[in-house]
Amino acid sequence: MKTAARLDFMPVTAQAAPAIHELYLHSPTYIALIGGDTPTLNDIERELETLRQDTRRQALLLFQGEEVIGFLDYKVAYPDLHSATISLLLIDERIQNQGLGKLVVEQLESLLLGRMERLYAVVYGNNEKARQFWMRRGYIHTRDGGPSLSWYMKALT
């Protein structure tokens, strides 16, 4: 797939559950890494309902043209009023390592610039690829939150 210069970020609605489910079905390596079962469609519908109740939470489907390429879940004004925190960036495993994750992060940073001072990324589990990915984007390891959470941070200037 040719990497587009720009991706579209579409806020998810309940109707997006099947598309998100598809993404998880196509991400077996990540599911194995976090040591869980692939979420069912019903799990995702319930998760979207939970997300909807938190107005600071931004759950977005990521499109390249007509095609869903990933999912992004972040929260503004968290953990403090001037910061935002990414809890999950998931790119469809079939199209990873083509520059799409990098593009998402660059677009999100531009979107938040002037509104938030810092962007955090919280890496769950023993996810070395993700750690390297954030560090190469200029994120600095700030702290570990318990045995399985690592926080990375970049100042948005």
For ligand ACO, the binding residue among 97, 114, 143, 146 (CB under 6 A) is 97
For ligand ACO, the binding residue among 119, 123, 153, 156 (CB under 6 A) is 123
Is residue 21 within 8 Å of residue 87, measured between CB atoms? no
Contacts of 145 (CB under 8 A, 6+ apart): 122, 151
130 near ligand ACO, judged by CB under 6 A: yes
* 60 phi and psi angles, rounded to 5 deg: -130, 135
For ligand ACO, the binding residue among 23, 84, 100, 156 (CB under 6 A) is 100
The residue (of 3 and 13) whose beta carbon lies closer to ligand ACO is 3
Binding residues for ligand ACO (CB under 6 A):
3, 30, 86, 88-91, 96-102, 121-123, 127, 129-130, 133, 136
